[in-house]
Chain A
C-alpha cells in the first residue's frame, strides 16, 4: 500500500512532536540513496526557502488621522514618493520607487527603516475638502506611531528565472547585476533545489492561504502572483525552464526583521528589495516526495543575452553548473554569480524547520488552488 498523508495527519504529528522535518537540500541529498516511496515513509515536511531581490514588493501603511484630518493626494517619506490614491491616510510604499534626486535610495530603504524603528519625514498635500480640511502635513512617523504596517508583495518567489549574460561589447548594468561585455560573466538568481516553487512545480500544496515564513515572521500566500504563468515549458524532470509561477504574499511587517528584508540598489537600474521567504511542503505521497528530491543538476534554466534587444536565448544550463562558480559555454569559461543569497535561504529553511519541530508552525492546506494552464499577455503598442 503506498503511503498517503493528509495535511491534517501531518499537523497532528507536528502537534505531538512526532513529525520528521528536513530541509529541501537534505531531502535532495537523501534522494541519491532512497526511493520516493522510502522518503514519503521517513519524512513528513520539507522546508524550502529563498532570499533574493524581489522588485514587486511593498508595504501598506496607515498613518492615523491628524486633527484636523487630511485626505492625502500626494505624499513622500524621506523624499521618496509613496502611493496615496487609496482613501485618506493609507499609503503604499513601493519597494522600487526611487528618490528623485538620490538614485540609490528609495522605497525599499523606507521599508527597511520603518521595520528598524527609524523616524521618517512624512510630507503630504491635499486640496482640502469639507470633511478633510487640512491641506499640508510635515511630520515624523515611525513604527510606534502609525497604525498598520502590512507587507504586501504582488510578485515574489519566482519559480525559476533566466541566467543573464551580455554578448555586446559594452558593460551592462541591469537588474541581473553588472554584466561584463563579451560574456565576461553570467548571473543567475535562485536557491535552486532549496527554492520553494521549484520543489512543488505543479503547485499542489502551495495556494491561497498557505502559511509561510515572510521577512522574519509568519505570513501568508494571499493570491497567485502577478505575471503568474502555469503553461511554461517543462524539462525532463517536470520543472519549468523559464520564469513561471509567482506568489502574492502578505504579512505583518511590524514583526519582520531587516535581517530578512533588505534594501538593495542595482547600479543604473535602481532600488530593489531582498525578501526572505520560507515555505513548508508536506510530503503527501510518493509523487510529492519525488518532486522534493529534485537536485540542482536536474533544474534547468535558459541563458539569455541581456546585451541585445529582446534578450535572445543563447543556451541552457543547470543550477549545479551555475552554482559551481563557473560554466563552460561555447568553449569559453564564464564566471558566475548568484543574485540571491543561498547562505540566507539556508538560514530561513533552518529556522522554519525548527519552528515546525517545536510545534510553533502548523501547515495550512490551500483554500483554493492557483489557475492551471495560464499564459501571459504581452503589451501591444498600438
Chain B
C-alpha cells in the first residue's frame, strides 16, 4: 500500500465555496489534509493551499472527485531558495514566517530552515537584510 504526499492549490468556483469539500476528502477518501493557506469568501472564488497525504489509489480517486466538483487543481511549484552559506543568523526572517519554516528556537541561535513547512508566502524575501531568499518557480 503506497502512501503519497501532494501539495496543491485548489481553486473553488464561486458556486462551490459553500460545499464541505475538505470534509468529503477526509471522510470518503481517507486523506489527511493540512491547510497551509486559505482565502475563501462566500460568493467569491476561493483558494486553498493544502498538503494531502494518503494511499495512492485513494488520492487518485480524491483528485477525480475534485475535478468532478469543478475545483481547479494546480500543483505548488513556487518554492523558496535559501542561501544558507551566507546567513549571519540574525533571525529577522523568523517572526514573519507564519508556518514556522524559519526558526531560531535552538540554543545555539542559528537559523533553521525547514523547507517542508514553507508555504512560499514570500515574506522572508523582503525581511532578510542580506537578501538570501529567492523565489523559485521551477517544479
A-side residues, CB < 8 A to B, are 51-53, 104, 173, 177-178, 180, 184-187, 262-267, 272, 274, 325, 335-344, 346
Contacts and interface: CB of A to CB of B under 8 A. Distances in A.
A218 B11 CA distance: 59
A335 B129 contact: no
Nearest to B127: A178
Nearest to A268: B126
Nearest to A334: B95
Contacts of A104: 131
A265 B129 contact: yes
B71 to A, nearest CB: 30
A338 B92 contact: yes
Contacts of B130: 262-265
B73 interface: no
Contacts of B104: 325, 337-338
Contacts of B110: 343
Contact of B91 (A264, A267, A337): A337
Contact of A340 (B90, B103, B127): B90
Contact of B89 (A173, A264, A325, A341): A341
A325 B103 contact: yes
Nearest to B104: A325
Given A325-B104, A344-B89, A264 B129 contact: yes
B77 interface: no
A335 B95 contact: yes
A295 B129 CA distance: 28
B94 A343 contact: no
A337 B89 contact: no
Interface in B72-100: 88-98
Contact of B123 (A178, A186, A262, A343): A178
B131 A51 contact: no
B131 A337 contact: no
Nearest to B86: A262
Nearest to B100: A335
Interface in B95-136: 95-98, 103-105, 108-110, 123, 126-127, 129-131
Contacts, number: 82
Contact of B95 (A51, A274, A337, A343): A337
Given A262-B130, A264-B129, A274 B88 contact: yes
A348 to B, nearest CB: 12
Contacts of B109: 341-343, 346
B92 A337 contact: yes
Contacts of A340: 90
A52 B91 CA distance: 11
A304 to B, nearest CB: 16
Please name the 6 residue pairs, one residue from A and one from B, whose CB atoms are nearest each other, closest first: A337-B95, A185-B95, A264-B129, A343-B89, A267-B126, A335-B95
B120 to A, nearest CB: 16
Interface string B61-77: 00000000000000000
Nearest to B110: A343
Contact of A266 (B89, B94, B96, B129): B129
Contacts of A346: 109
A261 B49 CA distance: 40
B129 A53 contact: yes
A178 B88 contact: no
Interface in B26-65: none
A70 to B, nearest CB: 35
A330 B97 CA distance: 21
A320 to B, nearest CB: 13
A215 B120 CA distance: 35
Nearest to A337: B95
B96 A337 contact: yes
A264 B96 CA distance: 18
B92 A177 contact: yes
Nearest to A104: B131
Contacts of A338: 90-92, 104
Contacts of B91: 337-338, 341
20 contacts: A184-B96, A186-B95, A262-B88, A265-B131, A266-B129, A274-B129, A325-B94, A336-B95, A337-B91, A337-B93, A337-B96, A337-B127, A338-B104, A339-B90, A339-B129, A340-B90, A343-B88, A343-B109, A344-B88, A344-B89
A180 B129 contact: no
A24 to B, nearest CB: 15
Contacts of A187: 92, 95
A314 B119 CA distance: 32
